[in-house]
Structure 1
């Protein structure tokens, strides 16, 4: 961190406490790829007001900031991030249940929300049982799997607007689509999400989640660090099939490779750098486009 950033560190410590501001924090410990260089500052707010004040302080200081969930769709460069990472998964983890509605703060693990719903006999979040992201991130990208997605069960989100005010936005006004949302498009920050679930039989819900997890374990390389599905589904195609048909399963650069178990995953097979991952992704994109005329877009986001 440069000398010019030290006053900002003091300001942020006054907002969230000294123990909640880390300097030169390696991002490899905060992403599911397990790669990434240091962020100048990593800040962990404990409540909505602290999130607002941290973002306001960064804006006043003219310093870049990035709001982080569980880092499950993120590749941070080896050089790291010159700015402030605002991490929500330690402080914003409250859950409130009223009837069939479950309100989760943005930092709640989506898998834990699914498990909690199951234990309460609430149906609707079964699809999320294996998605390794936060509730905030799931709303940001309309996460989904196995025929279900956030849009199916979301009632509303509480967000921080760009001007620092809080608003509750109904799901019908979020423009949720395939891996897209108004949250993404307008730079909103999800503070909490309320899911509208239905009463169900706990044993049947458990049977469904167990079946989905078995299918994931059989087909996906969950034993290796990755960011899940690396590429979006191209219209009229499946990314994994295109990559497989291009003969790219197992293609490797350094410690990063196309999974031999599921071609749609780029995985860290050991000691990968962000540059390795980028090289694999780039080669896959070039080869698939060369062979089939389809340009694959990444689900993974790049930072730094």
Structure 2
């Protein structure tokens, strides 16, 4: 049976008694006994075998941009995929781009425009990794999301411990959802269908235009989102045709605070940290908003943010 020391000798990064507050974008989270950083598939498989033999519960996380996490000592360990299989995106020169799941979306957007590839500029303002983005069908506006550009995704199935591939149509995409959320899998890499900027006399002008569009995305987010405060982005799945921010304005709840969590005054669809927010503050605010909206509008809100607690129901076993 593998031991921690043998895993470390295999090149696996292991951190002990890690406080998740310094990792998560909400700046929430208690302490986990161990956090593992696999760098390739063999290391990942060894970590999983070790944890299962030790009967330790674990969850898969990356940049932790879309989570709020409970305080205290947590009853699971983490496999952190942010350093997995790091390689430069591979462009076939025609239409197909292969990307590691650990690639940051913001960095991929810049890489593409620097290599005269268009289609992923909308990623510029989205934090987190490509793998997490596929998992939750990240995006910005209609036609600017994973569903529009993804060809397929390669993943490790934790049930049979084999690598599989799903095509776009297999993933049953909808707003902030993919079929992967219902399975015990770890996303390894993805392929996208994109276009090159044509190599003709208009190339310079087109490249400049796409850079300006990316800059406009960034400026729009700066103006409309509370980027200076800890948050996990939009808290709830939009309950079409309703608008969460509009309902909270109508209820005069903008700026309302529970502990260190507040309803953003810039974008009421965000819960932000204003005074050392804890995971429990965030959870309480989610429940409070759900209750108020249900009572006043008879609308049930579904969290878009992953709310991670002890005995977390999506934890792998």
Give TM class, smaller chain: over 0.9
Q: Greater shift after overlay, 175-184 or 152-161? A: 175-184
Equivalent-residue separation in structure 2 for 1:125 and 1:223 (angstroms): 24
Q: Mark the runs of 5 or more structure 2 residues left unpaired by the alignment.
A: 198-205, 310-317
* Alignment match, 1:292: 297
State how 1:11-22 maps to structure 2 within 5 Å.
Answer: 12-17=7-12, 20-22=13-15
* Alignment match, 1:174: 171
Structure 1 residue aligned with 2:190, among 187, 193, 201? 193
Structure 1 residues 80, 32: CA separation in 2 closer, same or farther (over 3 Å shift)?
farther
Q: CA deviation at 1:16?
A: 3.9
Equivalent-residue separation in structure 1 for 2:261 and 2:4 (angstroms): 35
Equivalent-residue separation in structure 1 for 2:3 and 2:289 (angstroms): 41
Q: CA deviation at 1:83?
A: 2.1
Q: Is the 8 A contact 1:56 1:164 kept in 2?
A: no
Which of structures 1 and 2 has the larger relative contact order (alpha carbons within 8 angstroms, sep 6+)?
2
- What SS class does the counterpart of residue 207 from structure 1 fall into? helix
- What SS class does the counterpart of residue 46 from structure 2 fall into? helix
Give per-residue Cα distances to partners, 1:199-233, cap 9 Å, x unaligned. Answer: 23321221111111111111100111100001111
Q: Is the 8 A contact 2:24 2:65 kept in 1?
A: yes
Structure 2 residue aligned with 1:79, among 55, 72, 75? 72
Q: Is the 8 A contact 1:256 1:269 kept in 2?
A: yes
Q: Greater shift after overlay, 214-223 or 165-174? A: 165-174
Q: CA deviation at 1:11?
A: 5.4
Q: Greater shift after overlay, 28-37 or 76-85? A: 76-85
Q: CA deviation at 1:59?
A: 2.1
Q: CA deviation at 1:8?
A: 5.5
Equivalent-residue separation in structure 1 for 2:184 and 2:176 (angstroms): 15
* Alignment match, 1:25: 18
Q: Are 1:97 and 2:102 matched, yes or no?
A: no
Q: Is the 8 A contact 1:120 1:202 kept in 2?
A: no
- What SS class does the counterpart of residue 85 from structure 2 fall into? coil
Given the two structures, how large is their TM-score scaled by the length of structure 2? 0.89
- What SS class does the counterpart of residue 235 from structure 1 fall into? coil
Equivalent-residue separation in structure 1 for 2:85 and 2:260 (angstroms): 34
C-alpha RMSD over aligned residues = 1.6
Q: Greater shift after overlay, 188-197 or 235-244? A: 235-244
Q: Is the 8 A contact 2:84 2:101 kept in 1?
A: no
Q: Paired residues, what number?
A: 296
* Alignment match, 1:224: 229
Structure 1 residues 15, 175: CA separation in 2 closer, same or farther (over 3 Å shift)?
farther
Given the two structures, how large is their TM-score scaled by the length of structure 1? 0.92
Equivalent-residue separation in structure 2 for 1:278 and 1:103 (angstroms): 37
Give per-residue Cα distances to partners, 1:220-261, cap 9 Å, x unaligned. Answer: 001111000011111321222122222111011222111000
Q: Is the 8 A contact 1:45 1:88 kept in 2?
A: yes
